[in-house]
């Protein structure tokens, strides 16, 4: 790799890193290009060269996280055929990913649940989530669950997972209890709350 390539990659990474931090703390619309490039130690032309605009930076942040989430999901799907193990493994891996991309997720939640000018990006992430849930539902059906059972299971699981991902974002000192949490979530969505009194926890 040439020095120029290394510099380009460093610039690209620095812009994304600092933009994620600024967007997470103050929100996308409150942050200027000038503030991003100042924090990253680069020039405005560098940002425009790599991303085209501030919106391009936001798009790149979301694309980077979604690509990592997709790779994680595919790896989990290939690792086991047992439904409980799928749910537990995916929970652990997504919590780990949330720790790695905490600022990006904080930014993402801010545009999903707050006011933002990034309407197209919001639609993209909503469509992504919908496709992921359909993929999960199809997988659960292929593992023996009926259509309705698979649909309800993944809806309940997805709501729980989103709540836990938000906890990662909201608690800077979060270190996670991923194993016990993954077990509890899998038990709840597969067997219901009574399972905890009936000793069905693994």
Taking phi over 0 as left and psi of -120 to 50 as alpha, with beta for the rest, 62 belongs to alpha
pTM, two decimal places: 0.86
pLDDT at 174: 65
pLDDT confidence of residue 114: 77
Is pLDDT above 60 for 115?
yes
Find out if CATH 1.10.3470 is the number for domain 58-196.
no
Q: For residue 53, what is the DSSP state?
A: S
Q: Give domain limits for the chain.
A: 58-196
Whether residue 202 is predicted with pLDDT greater than 70 in this model: the reply is no
Say how many C-beta atoms besides its own lie within 10 A of residue 131's C-beta: 11
Query: What mean pLDDT do residues 139-152 have?
Result: 91
DSSP 117: S
Could you report the per-residue pLDDT of 148-200, keeping only the tens digit for each?
A: 999 999 999 999 999 989 988 888 666 556 678 888 888 888 888 778 777 65
Q: What is the pLDDT of residues 62-102, one digit of tens each?
A: 999 999 999 999 999 998 889 899 999 999 999 999 999 99
Please give the distance of CA 199 from its chain centroid, rounded to a whole number. 32
Confidence at residue 55, expressed as pLDDT on a 0 to 100 scale: 96
Mean pLDDT of 36-45: 96
Question: What is the distance of C-alpha 12 from the center of its chain?
Answer: 20
Cβ atoms < 10 Å from Cβ of 49: 13
Closest C-alpha among 162, 154, 159 to residue 138: 154
Question: For residues 51 and 82, what is the distance between their CA atoms, to the nearest angstrom?
Answer: 42
pLDDT value of position 6: 39
Segment 3-31, tens digit of pLDDT? 344 377 899 999 999 999 999 999 999 99
């Amino acid at each position: 790799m040439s020095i120029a390539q290394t510099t380009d990659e460093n610039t690209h990474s620095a812009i994304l890193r600092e933009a994620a931090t600024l967007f997470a703390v103050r929100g996308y619309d409150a942050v200027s290009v000038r503030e991003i490039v100042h924090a990253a130690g680069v020039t405005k032309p560098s940002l425009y060269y790599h991303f085209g605009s501030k919106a391009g930076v936001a798009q790149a942040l979301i694309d980077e996280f979604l690509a990592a989430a997709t790779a994680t999901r595919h790896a989990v799907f290939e690792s086991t055929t047992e439904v409980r193990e799928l749910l537990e493994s995916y929970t652990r891996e997504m919590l780990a990913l949330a720790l790695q991309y905490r600022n990006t997720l904080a930014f993402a939640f801010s545009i999903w649940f707050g006011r933002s000018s990034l309407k197209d990006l919001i639609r993209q992430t909503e469509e992504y989530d919908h496709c992921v849930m359909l993929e999960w539902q199809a997988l659960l059906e292929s593992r023996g669950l009926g259509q309705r059972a698979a649909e309800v299971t993944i809806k309940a699981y997805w709501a729980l997972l989103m709540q836990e991902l938000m906890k990662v974002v909201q608690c800077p000192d979060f270190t996670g209890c991923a194993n016990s949490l993954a077990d509890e979530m899998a038990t709840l969505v597969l067997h219901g709350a009574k399972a905890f009194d009936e000793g069905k926890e693994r």
